[in-house]
């Protein structure tokens, strides 16, 4: 899939979604559950789709939230449900539909005190804070398609552990929701919005104030203020805008929000690599605006619309690749530059497609490394129990413990990861790109590449079934294959593809859980030319597998 000539440039009117048509289709279009693309499908982070494609409409939301209510009843979850939404156009009507169904079931619903937007980590934080002391367990819903294009909508369920729901939970909700769709929404309990919003079971909760007031328990904000750092922030039109303004005011930081626009077309976000609008704070194309301002700040940061991802920009390096910043964050938290967080026995969590530099960092810090399949849900239990100090994904999503231990959020938190970049700059007098050079000078410098290519449903299924016998006895770019994985080494769960590892390199191939593409991830510690050999051999293996689809 080639790079668009318009990548990094602002969209034109023809690129913008027709918001009235999008909202009309949400209400009017009825999905056909006999069409696979129009059924409820939970990927690694909830159900996503577009009303214009018949994959995210009112019927989907009624069915999904009805299924969540039935799940709560079956598992005796009797506390309040915390609900948030981001700034996508479809998030508002989907949020209202969700509240209508929740009120229909008599669920105590915690909505934003000011009817504002709510980041994913603020919902996770709220669930954990409630469940630390209350008898009746709380859970949550976040209405967001994350960084997906403006025409998309999404919803994800967070059970009482505060993190993304696990596979068994999402499979249960998916089956129930599709059965409800097939039945024509029979049995769905719903109260119309104008009555629902005033129901006695709907309560206002200060997500922003609670989260921001607690932040100093996760990040050294006094140190950041004392260093007088100039911090730039681009919320990319998302739900973190009010949070960053409140953080700057409460902690008296020299922090400038460079973009305060909220617009459901996201017309101010530069086009991504494929010429589409995508609010991906790990993309150098979508982040072109903030990168262009980098010399004004000691460090600059951004979040995607629900603020579960982070992007970090430094004056010299521009946007740090996610793997670079995750490595620096772990090195900082676990003491490779100096003092470590006081987390005795806490390990490092990473997904199978995240840099192997983290393996070397964990070893240097004397910490256990836990490698899991793609999906932040695999880190939830470890963070909750304090067995993991950090969990992170190659896609720029991570979270870590409170400064003195204990879970902060069990979902990805782009706000604390962004603030951590300022903390380490203040603490060590070097920005994250300079600290990365220190790390790689000691542990080796990897080069990483990810490729996406179109794939049919049959091809994706064939890739997911790919077995280790395909590469048994082979070499990887001139080195003996050390291990072939179809299950993650950390928890034995299927990775939905294959990972091939040698002494100095690795690649993984897996189908996307939400798009009609497959992905190849590859990394080498022997330089760019060696990486290209690894990529070529990975592509050949995938072509061989797909030819039998």
CA 60 to CA 177: how far, in whole Å?
8
Q: Which of 399, 347, 354 is nearest to 373 (CA)?
A: 354
In the set 50, 55, 91, 146, the catalytic residue is 146
Question: Please, are residues 417 and 398 in contact by the beta-carbon 8 Å criterion?
Answer: yes
The C-alpha angle 89, 119, 330, rounded to 5 degrees, equals 130
Pick left, alpha or beta for residue 345 (phi over 0 → left; psi -120 to 50 → alpha; otherwise beta).
left
- For residue 130, give both structure tokens: 């409630």
Q: Please tell me the number of Cα atoms within 13 Å of 354 on its side-chain side.
A: 32
CA 94 to CA 56: how far, in whole Å?
9
Q: Dihedrals φ, ψ of 288, to 5°?
A: -60, -35
- For residue 310, give both structure tokens: 């982070």
CA 144 to CA 124: how far, in whole Å?
14
Question: Please, are residues 319 and 351 in contact by the beta-carbon 8 Å criterion?
Answer: no
Question: Please, are residues 137 and 131 in contact by the beta-carbon 8 Å criterion?
Answer: yes
- Which strand ranges, in their side-by-side order, compose the sheet holding 81-85? 42-43, 46-49, 153-158, 139-143, 81-85, 109-112, 202-205
Find the DSSP H helices in 255-311: 288-291
Kindly tell me the sign of the dihedral angle through the C-alpha atoms of 330, 390, 111, 170: positive
CA 388 to CA 418: how far, in whole Å?
20
Question: Please, are residues 80 and 109 in contact by the beta-carbon 8 Å criterion?
Answer: yes
What residues pair up with 303 in beta bridges, in sequence order?
310
Can you tell me whether residue 370 is helix, strand or coil? Answer: strand
SS (HEC) of 437-503: HHHHHHHCCCEEEEEEEECCHHHHHHHHCCCHHHCCCCEECCEECCEEEEECCCCCCEEEEEEEECC
Q: Please tell me the number of Cα atoms within 13 Å of 41 on its side-chain side.
A: 18
Give residue 131's Cα distance to chain centre. Answer: 23
Q: Which residues contact 385 (CB under 8 A, 6 or more apart)?
A: none
Give residue 135's Cα distance to chain centre. Answer: 30
Q: Is 146 a catalytic residue?
A: yes
CA 537 to CA 477: how far, in whole Å?
7
Report how far apart the first and last C-alpha atoms of the chain are (Å, whole number): 20
Question: Please, are residues 275 and 382 in contact by the beta-carbon 8 Å criterion?
Answer: no
CA 310 to CA 4: how far, in whole Å?
24
- The set of catalytic residues is 146
């Amino acid at each position: 899939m080639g790079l668009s000539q318009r990548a990094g440039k602002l969209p034109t009117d023809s690129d913008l979604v027709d918001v009235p048509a999008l909202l009309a289709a949400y209400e009017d279009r009825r999905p056909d559950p006999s069409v696979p693309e129009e059924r409820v499908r939970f990927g690694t982070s909830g159900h996503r789709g577009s009303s214009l494609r018949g994959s995210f409409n009112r019927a989907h939301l009624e069915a999904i939230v009805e299924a969540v209510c039935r799940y709560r009843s079956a598992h005796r979850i009797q506390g309040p449900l915390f609900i948030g939404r981001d700034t996508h156009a479809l998030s508002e009507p989907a949020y209202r539909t969700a509240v209508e169904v929740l009120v229909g079931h008599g669920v105590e619903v915690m909505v934003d005190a000011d009817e504002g937007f709510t980041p994913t980590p603020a919902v996770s934080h709220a669930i954990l804070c409630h469940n630390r002391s209350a008898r009746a367990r709380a859970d949550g819903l976040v209405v967001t398609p994350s960084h997906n294009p403006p025409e998309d909508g999404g919803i994800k369920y967070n059970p009482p552990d505060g993190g993304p729901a696990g596979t068994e939970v999402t499979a249960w909700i998916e089956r129930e929701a599709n059965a409800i769709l097939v039945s024509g929404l029979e049995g769905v309990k719903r109260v119309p919005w104008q009555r629902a919003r005033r129901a006695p079971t709907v309560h206002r909760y200060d997500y922003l104030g609670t989260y921001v007031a607690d932040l100093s328990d996760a990040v050294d904000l006094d140190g950041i203020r004392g260093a007088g750092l100039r911090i730039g922030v681009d919320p990319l039109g998302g739900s973190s805008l009010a949070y960053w303004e409140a953080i700057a005011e409460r902690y008296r930081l020299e922090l400038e929000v460079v973009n305060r626009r909220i617009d459901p077309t996201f017309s101010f976000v530069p086009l991504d690599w494929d010429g589409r609008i995508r609010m991906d704070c790990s993309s150098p194309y979508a982040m072109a605006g903030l990168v262009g301002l980098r010399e004004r700040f000691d460090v600059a940061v951004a979040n995607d619309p629900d603020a579960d991802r982070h992007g970090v920009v430094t004056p010299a390096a521009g946007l740090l690749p996610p793997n670079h910043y995750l490595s620096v964050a772990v090195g900082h938290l676990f003491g490779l530059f100096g003092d470590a967080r006081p987390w005795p026995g806490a390990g490092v969590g990473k997904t199978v497609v995240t840099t192997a530099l983290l393996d070397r960092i964990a070893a240097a810090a004397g910490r256990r490394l836990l490698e899991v399949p793609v999906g932040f849900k695999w880190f939830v239990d470890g963070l909750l129990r304090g067995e993991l100090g950090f969990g992170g994904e190659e896609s720029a999503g991570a979270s870590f413990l409170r400064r003195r231990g204990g879970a902060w959020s069990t979902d990805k938190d782009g706000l604390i990861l962004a603030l951590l970049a300022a903390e380490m700059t203040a603490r060590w007098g070097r920005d994250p790109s300079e600290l990365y050079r220190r790390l790689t000078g000691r542990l080796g410098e990897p080069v990483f590449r990810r490729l996406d290519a179109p794939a049919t449903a049959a091809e994706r299924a064939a890739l997911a079934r790919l077995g280790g016998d395909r590469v048994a006895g082979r070499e990887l770019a001139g080195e003996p294959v050390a291990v072939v994985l179809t299950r993650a080494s950390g928890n034995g769960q299927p990775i939905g593809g294959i990972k091939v590892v040698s002494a100095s390199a690795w690649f993984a191939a897996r189908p996307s859980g939400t798009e009609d593409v497959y992905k190849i991830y590859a990394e080498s510690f022997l330089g760019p030319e060696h990486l290209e050999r690894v990529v070529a051999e990975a592509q050949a293996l995938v072509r061989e597998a797909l030819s039998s689809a």
